[in-house]
Structure 1
């Protein structure tokens, strides 16, 4: 796992002292989000709605590159829940800026244009916990080796409300975990090589019977039923895209998703969360423009 006592430098500038926030502390912070819904927001109004509806955190993003720090500061001053912001893959300077702004978590996000498609950020260099995307067990363990404290199982990136790709990737990861858990010890070396993951993390995952970090599902989740599906498949929470704020019933919808995550095995609660929602699909009348 992480070398918590190492100070890493780029050129001659120490980015952070990991002793102040060791990896175990970052894992504990990520655990506090377990069982919650994280809402993507693009403005202050949406952040307020998310908090009032019970979201465990908001992720501030303009869907193109690093978010304007002034917007992040404004939202942090307004809401009391954790604020997350994305950085482009490999762009450690964006991560430095986000840490200086004071975000609670940094999301190295593949939906943004990557700055370095060969090298991910060394997340052990930062005090702030990182969230990373993955589509299978190998990707997840590689991101954890780099220092990710949470895995976001990524589905579709186009904000069209198509949950099928997310379901595919969640099922893939959970299937690989089951295969690994039932594997003979002698087979773990070959399996680690096959999925291109560090052997020690593969062995630890086998021993634990789960990923060493919390994992949330992301992509296409626009109804309480979608959220409950992800939880029943084995996720610890969900990311909800900003497209939910385009519905006229956005507050009720977000609140329903939050309740569905918390009560995903109670069909009676799930019925209540779906009551009165506009489930008509893509009709223009179903949505309003974001403010």
Structure 2
């Protein structure tokens, strides 16, 4: 593993418990910081600057502005450019990823559906982002400008919610104007040139076996996040080792098979997405 996420409950338990999910207690986070030599990430609620500032002050290595916690702001995410600490954010499609990068995210993870042990949402989001990147690569300047305007439109929700006359197009990231358009267009230009997102891109949400990890890496991910898939299996220590091994050797089927054979007992039982009362991947704007 190259990093750990400080969280007192895995997403499967957060989902089961219900209620409002908030950032973890500082004492728990500090305990993890004190006992590990690899980078420590911690989650803040979407749009919750108070939680993010606490995490920054504690010296965690990265903030995950996470849909696994209950969103705090229904209109905007955190202005990540105002922080020294890097952020990772989730995305289900290219427009969402571009908005987060415009806001300052240093890393994107495809959301999947956290706490389910079901890979289908992770695959869906990876497929869609890849598809839309290919579409961007086929666009001329006019279509790129049109796409930038379409991606910016989500920032207008607050102004459109007001029933009063008059116009104010301010956001935590600046005014919705030509400068914002240029910033979003520049991200799209990078996507077109690179043929991928211009930041590190991991997969998350539903990875529950070494084969799942290998599959997402084969789909072009730079790495994976896994939590419930380890701790809700019958054999968490071996599952953790096996998933790390399969991720490192994702393109070597014999190594992935060896990793799969390391596990004693069953993987996380998991859930069909159609049975869920709350879809976490729908959180985020």
CA 1:57/1:241 → structure 2, altered by over 3 Å: closer, same or farther? same
Could you tell me how far 1:170 is from its partner in structure 2?
Answer: 0.6
Distance (whole Å) between structure 2 residues aligned to residue 205 and residue 246 of structure 1: 37
CA 1:146/1:153 → structure 2, altered by over 3 Å: closer, same or farther? same
Structure 1 residue 211 and structure 2 residue 168: aligned? Answer: no
Aligned residues: 228
Structure 1 residue 193 and structure 2 residue 152: aligned? Answer: no
Could you tell me how far 1:140 is from its partner in structure 2?
Answer: 0.3
Could you tell me how far 1:241 is from its partner in structure 2?
Answer: 1.9
Q: Counterpart of 2:239?
A: 253
RMSD: 1.7
**Equivalent residue for 1:73, pick from 25, 30, 40:** 30
Could you tell me how far 1:245 is from its partner in structure 2?
Answer: 1.6
Could you tell me how far 1:116 is from its partner in structure 2?
Answer: 0.9
Residues 133-172 of structure 1 deviation map (CA, whole Å, 9 limit, x = unaligned): 1101100010011110000110113x12011011101100
Distance (whole Å) between structure 1 residues aligned to residue 228 and residue 268 of structure 2: 16
TM norm structure 2: 0.76
Residues 17-66 of structure 1 deviation map (CA, whole Å, 9 limit, x = unaligned): xxxxxxxxxxxxxxxxxxxxxxxxxxxxxxxxxxxxxx111111234211
Q: Counterpart of 2:92?
A: 135
CA 1:191/1:255 → structure 2, altered by over 3 Å: closer, same or farther? same
Distance (whole Å) between structure 2 residues aligned to residue 160 and residue 80 of structure 1: 29
Distance (whole Å) between structure 1 residues aligned to residue 190 and residue 232 of structure 2: 42
**Equivalent residue for 1:113, pick from 46, 70, 78:** 70
SS at match of 1:133: strand
SS at match of 2:106: strand
Answer 1 or 2: which has greater helix percent: 2
**Equivalent residue for 1:270, pick from 213, 233, 256:** 256
Could you tell me how far 1:229 is from its partner in structure 2?
Answer: 0.7
**Equivalent residue for 1:169, pick from 115, 125, 144:** 125
Contact 2:2 2:39 (8 Å CA) reproduced: yes
Distance (whole Å) between structure 2 residues aligned to residue 276 and residue 131 of structure 1: 31
SS at match of 1:189: helix
Q: Note the 1:1-291 alignment, pairs <5 A.
A: 55-62=1-8, 63=14, 64-157=21-114, 159-196=115-152, 198-277=184-263, 278-279=265-266, 282=269
Distance (whole Å) between structure 1 residues aligned to residue 128 and residue 26 of structure 2: 36
Unaligned runs of 5+ in 1: 1-54, 284-291
Could you tell me how far 1:281 is from its partner in structure 2?
Answer: 5.8
TM norm structure 1: 0.74
Distance (whole Å) between structure 2 residues aligned to residue 207 and residue 258 of structure 1: 31
SS at match of 2:52: helix
Unaligned runs of 5+ in 2: 9-13, 15-20, 153-180, 271-285
Distance (whole Å) between structure 2 residues aligned to residue 111 and residue 219 of structure 1: 10
SS at match of 1:87: strand
Distance (whole Å) between structure 2 residues aligned to residue 276 and residue 98 of structure 1: 36
